[in-house]
Amino acid sequence: MFGQIIRWILFAVFITELTRNQVEGAGCISVEHCTACNTPRVCDQCNVGYGIDSKNRCQKCSTVIQNCVKCSSVSACTKCINDSFTVDQDGSCQPCAANCRTCRTIGPGKCDTCSAGFTVDSQTKTCTACQTVNCVVCSSDPAVCTTCKNGYRLSTTTGSTECVACADPNCSYCNTDVNKCDRCKTGVDPATSACK
């Protein structure tokens, strides 16, 4: 009789704990990093940054999928470490294509934004080199430069653009005239008002 009372008490404690875990979202019994479960030891949902493995345990995403910070399972990443990686069709994080700065929203091999000196091709969504020598930013048309490297001035003549070197090699910015320096690389010589 006494043994049966103990079993009933232990069963009541177990049911109370199970109900508390399910109602409060406190996690499953003995399943670390679990936030929701069907039964005490079968996890349905893990903490952010963790995914469910084949044994219904929560595994850290970055441990099982390289460069992954958020996953729905240990084989399906949903968010990569930063925008220089993208989630591939197989659920892994892949680096952006060459000369691509960000590719998170477009997909593998495609680009959202390109590195300096490149522009996103509107058809292929890949990075195409700007055609103007010494150009760092070109429009969607790679033949049209919008910003030149330091030490160069943008010159537009008859529909084409080019980057023309500032006359003074110590000049970093000559916006209006190649012969007039607007900003020197190292400072201005007080005696001559020229770049040092």
Helix (H) or strand (E) holding 100: strand 100-102
pLDDT tens for each residue of the chain, 196 residues long: 555 655 555 455 444 454 444 433 444 777 788 888 877 778 888 899 999 888 888 899 999 899 999 998 888 999 999 988 988 888 899 888 889 988 876 666 788 899 999 999 888 888 999 999 999 999 888 988 999 998 999 888 766 788 999 988 888 888 778 888 888 888 777 667 678 7
Q: How many helices (H) and strands (E) does the chain have?
A: 2, 18
What phi and psi, each to the nearest 5 degrees, are found at residue 164? -105, 135
CA distance 104 to 87: 7
CA distance 103 to 51: 24
Which tokens belong to 130? 């700007």
Look at the alpha carbons of 54, 59, 61, 65 in this order and tell me if their dihedral is positive or negative: negative
